[in-house]
Structure 1
Amino acid sequence: MDFLQSALKDEIEKKRKTLQAAKANDTVAKNKKYISRAELERLREKEYLEEQERERKKKEEQSALKQKSRAREIADQERKTASASESDGQDDDDETADTFNVSQEEVQRRLRAKGQPIRLFAETDKQRKARLRTLELMEERSEGQRNDFMRTLDQMDEGMNLEALKRKAEGEDLVEKAAKKSRDDTAIVPVNMDWLRTEPEKLHPLIYSYLKRMLREWEEALDERPEEVKRSGQGKRAAAMQKQTADYLRPLFKQLKSRAMEPDILARVTEITHHMQNRRYRDAQDSYLQLSIGNSPWPIGVTMVGIHERSAREKIFAAQVAHVLNDETTRKWIQSLKRLMTFAQTKYPPDSMSQLT
Structure 2
Amino acid sequence: MDALKAEIAVKRKALAVPASEGARPAKYMRRGDLERLKEEQEKQEREEKEARLREEREREEREREERRREKAAAKAGSACRSSKSPHPEGGPSTGSPAPDSALSFNISNEETVRRLRAKGQPIRLFAESDKDRRLRLRALELIEEKDHERHGGQNDFKKALEDVENVERQMKDRQVQDESIRDKGKKKDSEVSLVSEILDLELVKTDPDKLYPIIYYAMKRALKEWEQWMDERPENVKRTTQGKLAAATQRQSAEYLKPLFKLLRARNLPPDVLARIAEIVHYMQKRQYQRANDSYLRLSIGNAPWPIGVTMVGIHERSAREKISADQVAHVLNDEVSRKYIQSLKR
From 250, 266, 283, the counterpart of 2:291: 283
- Where 1:279 maps in the other structure, the secondary structure is coil
Task: Give the letter for the 2:265 counterpart.
Answer: K
From 297, 300, 307, the counterpart of 1:299: 307
Structure 1 residues 57-94: Cα deviation after superposition (integer angstroms, max 9, x where no partner): xxxxxxxxxxxxxxxxxxxxxxxxxxxxxxxxxxxxxx
**How far off its partner does 1:193 sit?**
1.0
What are the equivalent positions in structure 2 for 1:219-258 lying under 5 Å apart? 219-258=227-266
Change (3 A) 1:174 1:314: closer
Change (3 A) 1:260 1:299: same
- Alignment of 1:178 with 2:195, yes or no, is no
How many residues are treated as equivalent by the alignment?
200
**How far off its partner does 1:280 sit?**
1.2
Task: Give the letter for the 2:180 counterpart.
Answer: V
Distance in 1, matches of 2:322 and 2:185, equals: 51
Task: Give the letter for the 1:223 counterpart.
Answer: D
From 190, 196, 202, the counterpart of 2:198: 190
Change (3 A) 1:224 1:290: same
Task: Give the letter for the 2:282 counterpart.
Answer: H
The TM-score with structure 2 as length reference comes to 0.51
Task: Give the letter for the 1:295 counterpart.
Answer: N
- Where 1:193 maps in the other structure, the secondary structure is coil
**How far off its partner does 1:243 sit?**
0.9
Change (3 A) 1:181 1:219: same
- Where 1:297 maps in the other structure, the secondary structure is coil
Distance in 1, matches of 2:310 and 2:327, equals: 19
Distance in 1, matches of 2:309 and 2:254, equals: 36
Contact 2:281–2:292 (CA<8 Å) still a contact in 1? yes
Correspondence for 2:51: none
Change (3 A) 1:194 1:162: closer
Change (3 A) 1:300 1:316: farther
**How far off its partner does 1:302 sit?**
4.5
Structure 1 residues 90-130: Cα deviation after superposition (integer angstroms, max 9, x where no partner): xxxxxxxxxxxxxxxxxxxxxx9x958xxxxxxxxxxxxxx
Change (3 A) 1:265 1:234: same
Distance in 1, matches of 2:243 and 2:308, equals: 43
- Where 2:202 maps in the other structure, the secondary structure is helix
The TM-score with structure 1 as length reference comes to 0.50
Distance in 2, matches of 1:329 and 1:265, equals: 14
Correspondence for 2:110: none
Distance in 2, matches of 1:230 and 1:202, equals: 39
Change (3 A) 1:303 1:257: closer
- Alignment of 1:262 with 2:270, yes or no, is yes
Distance in 2, matches of 1:183 and 1:162, equals: 21
Unaligned stretches of 5+ residues in structure 2: 1-142
**How far off its partner does 1:191 sit?**
1.3
Change (3 A) 1:198 1:174: same
Change (3 A) 1:199 1:301: closer
Distance in 1, matches of 2:310 and 2:328, equals: 15
Distance in 2, matches of 1:180 and 1:250, equals: 20
Unaligned stretches of 5+ residues in structure 1: 1-111, 117-137, 340-357
From 224, 236, 239, the counterpart of 1:216: 224
- Where 2:287 maps in the other structure, the secondary structure is coil
- Where 2:206 maps in the other structure, the secondary structure is coil
What are the equivalent positions in structure 2 for 1:20-99 lying under 5 Å apart? none
**How far off its partner does 1:154 sit?**
2.1
Task: Give the letter for the 1:220 counterpart.
Answer: Q
Runs of 4+ in 1 over 6 A off after TM superposition: none
**How far off its partner does 1:234 sit?**
1.6
Contact 2:303–2:328 (CA<8 Å) still a contact in 1? yes
**How far off its partner does 1:162 sit?**
4.8
- Alignment of 1:327 with 2:335, yes or no, is yes
Distance in 1, matches of 2:169 and 2:334, equals: 39
Change (3 A) 1:253 1:310: closer
Distance in 2, matches of 1:227 and 1:336, equals: 26
Contact 2:311–2:325 (CA<8 Å) still a contact in 1? no
Task: Give the letter for the 1:175 counterpart.
Answer: S
